[in-house]
Structure 1
Amino acid sequence: MPSPFLKLPDKYEQEFANEIVRLNFLRSRNLAMVLFLLSVFFIFSDLVNYQEGLWHWDTLSGYLILFYIHVVLGLFSLVFLLLSWIHRLKSEDQQLTRWHASLGTLFSCFIILFSSCISINDQLLHNQITAFMLGSILIAVNSYLKPIISITIYASSWILFMIGITFLQSDLDVLKGNYLNSILLIVFAWFLSFTLYNMKIQDFISQKTIQQKNKEVEDYNNDLIEINNRLEESLQALDESQNVIFTLASALESKDTYTRGHSERVSNYALQLAQTLGLSVNEQQTVWRAAQLHDIGKIGIPDAILNKSGKLNEEEWEIMRSHPEMGENICSTLSFARDFLPLIRHHHERFDGTGYPDGLKGEEIPFLARIITIADAVDAITSHRSYRPSRTIDYALEELTIGKGSQFDPSIVQAFIESFNYA
């Protein structure tokens, strides 16, 4: 069976205690102001009763005692107001002291004990317990008291009330009625105080839960904003990367008029082949970008070698064969190119292991690099060069067939040939 006492998480106990102290202090101050004004009114009424001869200074009576009670109420309320002004709360974040906690609790104790004294004295006048009833319910509603504190206060006031009316009430029927009514009153008042205190705890927990959720939502939104900003930066960087790709490719082609448009055509062949092979979108983008930059290392090749009309000698071939490594070094400074640096380096490897620069063989060669090798060969065959005219695509397909298993990956060559035959 669940406990009727709500339990606050440890991390909230001090904050909740501070909020209760603050509320009790402010509410008690407001109630003290009302009671002070009422006491002034009651004293004035008592003096009117004195003028009408209802009581006299030299004769102890219920009206005289009531007058003194009203005076005590006024003085206590005034003193409390002065103390609450001295220790007033000027802001929500002001540090709370023991004075604030003590004054609120002391005021609640005084009011309920004071109301019991009024009802005791009232046995001499009207046989009523109205003041005790009002005081008990007023404190239950006005102040948030811990259950152990509230039951102590109510029990003390009830004991005082029972003793007082026992001595002052001579009518046994009225006395029995007051006994029963006071018991019901105290039980009801304490239950009301207990319920309101628990509701305050529940409300506090709900507020903290909402604040926590709001903070989580705010943090989540901030994360989304940060991710969005990064995404925008990435997209911007990607756009800039695309520009770099085309700029570098254009710079290369400006050196070799015979290969103008070569990188773009190789990219298109490579992309077509990647689509034929059913590669993912990311792989298609990677092979397209790598193809755009596969010959970028030729920027470092002397123009005399790059545009030589005749065959290259061994020393010139050695320099020409360095362009894949040079291309890898150039692109290594570009963050967007890190994923396809191996494709630039190995696009001149041969399937039989006789290629360059590392002599990789078969499956050792990156799969996407094998695609670029075929696309590069097709465009080289079908393009005009300084040392020979351009050839037809059919001628290129025949050369691919001849080179299956030696220069090219047989399965990729077959897919390329079938795609052209189908077209």
Structure 2
Amino acid sequence: MVQAKKNWQKIIPRSITGIIPDEDKGKFFEELAQINYNRTRIISSVILLVLTLLFITDYENYVKGHWLTVPGYKYLFFGHAFFAMGLALNLGFVLLKRLSNRSVTTGDKERFVLIFCFITSLSGALISTADQLIHGQMTVFLLCIFGLAVLNYIRPKITITVFALSYTLLMIGISNAQANVDLLRGHYINATVLVVVAAALSALLYHAKVNDFLNRKTIDRHRKDLEVKNE
């Protein structure tokens, strides 16, 4: 039984992204949280700036009467509003903690990044659903998932959960919004393939980060051993 388990683990490793020793996990996840937190704060601010400009376009569409003639423009505004409010609230929580002279803990940073991932992926699905009534494209959804895949180092099980929820929302949305059967079938295939590719890309980048961390730890350990021997 034990031998069979060992053989099985050779075929399917316990972790496809590398295994961090228990004594180093705290340091590793703290480092990851800080990197992801810094990147997410910056990109959140940039996205909010872009959304502010898009609100001007949404308002122009409203003034021109496009919200009545093409309902997709109205739903597009709702998607932008959901995205902006989610990011603003997420950033606001961190800002309030800093203004109140309270330290932002590692847990706070991890939650901040996780909420950003959910907001971004779900917003991408909502906006692309609205776009089916305008241009029939999924560009925003694809930008969101690939952006999330390369922006931060996220554990694969979290990435899969985030992508699965947004993918499900997109499938439900475009199934109801897209009337062209051929275009809808193409969206099904493209979205499925690209979500899998994005998740795989995210896992590969996470794996590379794990290896980088382990290599640095090994180098530090060898350096300390040499220092002890030279004393």
Return 5+ residue gaps in structure 2 as ranges: 1-9
Q: CA deviation at 1:177?
A: 0.1
Higher share in helix:
2
Structure of higher CA gyration radius:
1
Quote the residue 1:350 is aligned against.
Answer: none
State the shift of 1:53 in Å: 3.3
After superposition, the C-alpha distances for 1:152-176 in whole angstroms (9 at most, x for unaligned) are 1111111111111111111100000
Give TM-score, length-normalised by structure 2: 0.86
Higher RCO (C-alpha 8 Å, min separation 6): 2
Quote the sequence identity (%). 33
- Matching residue's letter, 2:42: N
Task: Report the alpha carbon displacement of residue 87 of structure 1 after superposing the two structures with TM.
Answer: 3.8
Q: Which moves more between the two structures, 186-195 or 64-73?
A: 64-73
- In the alignment, what sits opposite 1:213? 222
Give the alignment of 1:299-310 within 5 angstroms: none
| SS at structure 2 position matched to 1:63 | helix
Shift of 1:73: 2.0
Is structure 2 residue 56 aligned with structure 1 residue 47? no
Q: Give runs of aligned pairs for residues 2-401 of structure 1, distance below 5 A.
A: 3=13, 4-56=16-68, 61-88=71-98, 96-221=105-230, 223=231
Question: Quick check: 2:36–2:153 contact (8 Å CA) kept in 1?
Answer: yes
CA contact (8 A) 2:30 2:106 kept: no
* Cα shift readout 1:301-334 (whole Å, capped 9, x = no counterpart): xxxxxxxxxxxxxxxxxxxxxxxxxxxxxxxxxx
Q: Output one character per residue of 1:81-137: Cα deviation in whole Å (capped at 9) or x when no partner.
A: 22222345xxxxx77343222111111111011101111111111110101100000
Matched AA of 1:131: V
The alpha-carbon deviation at position 21 of structure 1 amounts to: 1.7
Alpha-carbon distance in 1 for matches of 2:141, 2:104: 35
Gaps of 5+ in 1: 89-93, 224-423
Supply the distance in 1 between the matched residues of 2:72 and 2:28 (Cα, whole angstroms).
Answer: 44
* Contact 2:80-2:123 at 8 Å conserved across structures: no
Would you say the 8 A contact 1:87–1:99 is kept in 2? no
- The RMSD of aligned alpha carbons is 2.0
Indicate conservation of the 8 Å contact 2:154/2:206, yes or no.
yes
Residues 1:95 and 1:55: Cα distance change in structure 2 (over 3 Å): closer
Spell out, residue by residue over 1:171-220, the C-alpha distance to the aligned partner (whole angstroms, 9 max, x if none): 10000000000001110010011111111100111111122222223333
Shift of 1:54: 2.4
TM-score (norm: length of structure 1): 0.48
Instruction: Count how many residue pairs are aligned between Structure 1 and Structure 2.
Output: 216
